[in-house]
Amino acid sequence: QVQLQESGPGLVKPSETLSLTCTVSGGSISSYYWSWIRQPAGKGLEWIGRIYTSGSTNYNPSLKSRVTMSVDTSKNQFSLKLSSVTAADTAVYYCARVVAVAGNFDYWGQGTLVTVSS
C-alpha cells in the first residue's frame, strides 16, 4: 500500500520561502507524476503543480513565478518550494500521486498545515 507523508515547517514568515517534502513509502516513486495541492481553511482545493520522476514539471499559472518542485528518486521523495509567501498562502498542503492517463489523484498524504505569520 502506497503511503505519502508531508513534512516541513508549520510556520513560515511573510516574504520567506515555504519548503515541504513528501516521502513516498510502500512503492517506488519512479514512473509517476506527483502533485502538490493545497486547501485554505474552510475552502476548496487548489492544484499547485506536478513533477515527473524525470524532473519534468508543470505548475499552476497563477503560482508559477513562485513555485519550484524537485524530486529525489534515491530517497523516494519530492519537494515543494513556494517563495515570497503571504498570509494568503496559509493552507493545508497535500501531496498526491497522479494516475497517468486519467489524471486523477489516487493516493494522498494526510496533509500538513502551513501558517504564514510573523
Number of chain positions touching other proteins (CB under 8 A):
20
For residue 116, give the nearest of 80, 93, 81, 86 by alpha carbon.
86
Tell me the one-letter amino acid at 81: K
d(CA 84, CA 89): 10
Query: How many angstroms separate the Cα of 3 from the Cα of each of 67, 74, 80, 117?
Result: 24, 17, 18, 30
Q: Which of 23, 105, 114, 116 binds other proteins (CB under 8 A)?
A: 105
Q: Which is nearer to other proteins, 74 or 102 (CB)?
A: 102
- For 63, the grid coordinates are 503560482
Closer of 14 and 103 to other proteins (Cβ):
103
Residues 38-77 that bind other proteins (CB under 8 A): 44-47, 50, 58, 60-61
CB of 114 to other proteins, least distance (A): 15
Residues binding other proteins (CB under 8 A):
44-47, 50, 58, 60-61, 94, 96, 99, 102-106, 108-111
